[in-house]
Amino acid sequence: MLPLRPDIRNMTGYVPGFQPKDGQKWIKLNTNENPYPPSPKVVEALLAEIGADGGNLRQYPDAASQAGREAGARLYGFDPSWVILANGSDELLNNLIRAFADAGEEVAYVHPSYSYYSTLAEIQGARVKTFTLTQDWELDGFPERYSGKLFFLTNPNAPLGYAFPGAFIEDLAGRVEGALVVDEAYVDFADENSLELVRKFENVIVTRTLSKSYSLAGMRLGLAIAHPEVISALDKIRDHYNLDRLAQAAATAALGDQAYFRNCVARIRATRDWFSTELQVIGYGVVPSQGNYVFATPPDRDGKRVYEALYARRILVRHFSDPVLVHGLRISIGTREEMEKTLAALREIG
């Protein structure tokens, strides 16, 4: 047997959403991808970066991804020293745990939320504490001062889709002694974000992704906005060439085309709101969503049955075995046509 760390040998590892091989034949609503292509400016920038003979690819990319940082900084109104780009926001979440929590120290998050946090904590050997949200927007058992090293808050929540009120997040920022990471993977589909809290509290870190609202899941691009001390720590521990040339070109072009971005987000929000209403008409329970997905519960609360019936019709959604989610389904928002077909299938399935 190879001398692997026993905890790594025995860990399950993160299981990403299922990617069907014959992707075209499915209505794929299981990993919150964007149904629309990225901005045409992204395609132009990628072709320009490759060049006629691919010669640019001989050379390493800019290690600092400076152009992308500056595009992000301009867009969000921060100095570039407050911004970092990454190979997906997963890379940022990983490096944030490494930067703040040593083995044996505590990290926390709300349950249910993004399941990757527990995998990251396990790799780091950090202890995990989870809190549940009460009906009154309180975290059950949360102390007046929380002394753990890092708290992940997924806002809007995934997989449920609700958004925490601004006052709740601000209160949390004041009570968390370590880092408060607001994972805003879906915030572009929401009404509010926490960027102002980054200016106000030096322990608040906002992470974003270009996978969802910018249609770039395939490029792996994430971004964090935080105090320069945090950014500098993240710069020390990341892979030195963490973003390849194509990813950097795509990031700059995508962030720079806000007209395309706004139009795309508006279409998805409109489809989400229409779909949520229609689901309720056929008797589903729906958590009001601020993301590009809805968490919906069929009338008989048998999420698995409906998941399987949709699967048989080549419609792929997400079903979680977690006891607090098992009754429902997370359905990503596709095009209006895809959602009409999904709704028709749900009516048929009953």
Ligand X SMILES: Cc1ncc(COP(=O)(O)O)c(C=O)c1O
Which residue, chain included where needed, has tokens 């860990």?
Answer: 11
Question: Shortest approach of ligand X to residue 168 CB, angstroms?
Answer: 17
Among 46, 50, 217, 349, binds ligand X (CB under 6 A): 217
Beta bridge partners of 106: 127
**Among positive and negative, which fits the CA dihedral 90, 82, 256, 239?**
negative
Member of 35, 38, 72, 222 binding ligand X (CB under 6 A)? 222
Cα 217 from Cα 185, distance rounded (Å): 11
- On whether the CB atoms of residues 71 and 113 are closer than 8 A, the answer is no
Give 3-state DSSP helix, strand, coil % of the chain, rounded to 5. Answer: 40, 15, 45
User: Closest CB to ligand X among 217 and 349?
Assistant: 217
Q: How many residues bind ligand X (CB under 6 A)?
A: 13
Which of 42, 120, 133, 158: binder of ligand X (CB under 6 A)?
A: 158
**Shortest Cβ distance from residue 155 to ligand X (Å)?**
9
Q: How far is the CB of 268 from ligand X (least distance, A)?
A: 15
Closest approach of Cβ 215 to ligand X, in Å? 12
Contacts of residue 255, Cβ cutoff 8 Å, sequence gap at least 6: 68, 71, 72, 75, 210, 214
C-beta closer to ligand X: residue 42 or 346: 42
32: contact with ligand X by CB under 6 A: yes
Which span (20-28, 83-91, 136-144, 247-255) binds ligand X, by CB under 6 A? Answer: 83-91
Shortest CB 315 distance to ligand X, Å: 19
For the chain, the first-to-last Cα distance in angstroms comes to: 52
Which one among 39, 95, 193, 209 touches ligand X, defined by CB under 6 A?
Answer: 209
For residue 295, give the 3-state DSSP assignment: strand
**In terms of CB distance, is 45 or 86 closer to ligand X?**
86
- The tokens describing 128, both together, are 């995990």
C-alpha closest to that of 201 among 235, 223, 231, 177: 177
Closest CB to ligand X among 149 and 212? 212
User: Would you give the binding string for ligand X spanning residues 104-123, x where CB under 6 A is met?
Assistant: ----------x---------
Task: Report which of 147, 110, 149, 146 is spatially closest to residue 126, judged by C-alpha positions.
Answer: 149
The residue (of 37 and 350) whose beta carbon lies closer to ligand X is 37
Interface residue with ligand X among 183, 188, 257, 338 (CB under 6 A) is: 183
**Using CB atoms within 10 A of its CB, is residue 45 exposed (0-12), middle (13-18) or buried (19+)?**
buried
Cα(197)–Cα(138) distance, rounded to whole angstroms? Answer: 19
Site string for ligand X, 85-104 (x = CB under 6 A): ---xxx--------------
Of 158 and 286, the one with the shorter C-beta distance to ligand X is 158
Q: In whole angstroms, what is the distance from residue 291 CA to residue 187 CA?
A: 7
Q: Which stretches of the chain bind ligand X, using CB under 6 A?
A: 32, 88-90, 114, 154, 158, 183, 185, 209, 211, 217, 222
